[in-house]
Chains A and B, each alone.
Chain A
Amino acid sequence: GQQLNQSPQSMFIQEGEDVSMNCTSSSIFNTWLWYKQDPGEGPVLLIALYKAGELTSNGRLTAQFGITRKDSFLNISASIPSDVGIYFCAGRGYGGSQGNLIFGKGTKLSVKP
């Protein structure tokens, strides 16, 4: 079945640093979504991408839908403490699974000690 690899699994950030994470899939997707989840809460949608090559920003967040349709990245510029949390990519494929999202395992952002 379709699989998503999200990396890195975790990372530590210092306030002001830029952060980058990405997802790759084993098959072509028609949609990429990026979510953030805080402890005890549901995932909150950050950015939605629907076209290959699409580059979309939401404040300090920028995400791109890869040209091959098999990958996407999320960048966070000038990180702040409230960026801490778990970020998930999610993709939707074609055919019989249309509508069903597949989620990556998440990238956990923590503050550097």
Chain B
Amino acid sequence: DSGVTQTPKHLITATGQRVTLRCSPRSGDLSVYWYQQSLDQGLQFLIHYYNGEERAKGNILERFSAQQFPDLHSELNLSSLELGDSALYFCASSHPTTGGLLTDTQYFGPGTRLTVL
């Protein structure tokens, strides 16, 4: 158990709908990362939040958005869903080491499997 929790574990919805995925990081971790994993693309970095602020964006579609709340949990919002959005969505958390260099290690949650029909 990594200490990162994600809900729901499974989500089935229809095209055009909007869903929200939730992530609670490990106790004390300030960073939350979101990833998408599909069969043909592997693990793709979507977005990184640190202590409530967006730090970096990866291959995240404009239909997707995220936020990190004061209690450090994060939500990933996916809207206008398409069939191709079906994938596993993981969040990972980390606590940066000192010295300013981001050598932090990311610990992954169990993921949310999204199926768009």
Which residues in A have some Cβ–Cβ distance to B below 8 Å? 30-31, 33, 35, 40-45, 48, 50, 88, 90, 92, 96-106
Contacts and interface: CB of A to CB of B under 8 A. Distances in A.
A42 B111 contact: yes
B56 A103 contact: no
Interface of B: 2, 4, 31, 33, 42-45, 48, 55-56, 58, 90, 92, 101-111, 113
B55 A103 contact: no
Contacts of B43: 43, 88, 90, 103
Nearest to A41: B110
Given A92-B102, A104-B42, A106-B42, A99 B55 contact: yes
B110 A99 contact: no
B107 A45 contact: yes
B58 A99 contact: no
A103 B42 contact: yes
Contact of B109 (A42, A88, A100): A42
Contacts of A98: 102
A42 B108 CA distance: 6
A103 B106 CA distance: 12
Given A41-B110, A101-B33, 15 more contacts: A31-B103, A40-B111, A40-B113, A42-B2, A42-B92, A42-B109, A43-B43, A45-B105, A45-B108, A48-B105, A100-B45, A101-B45, A101-B106, A102-B45, A103-B44
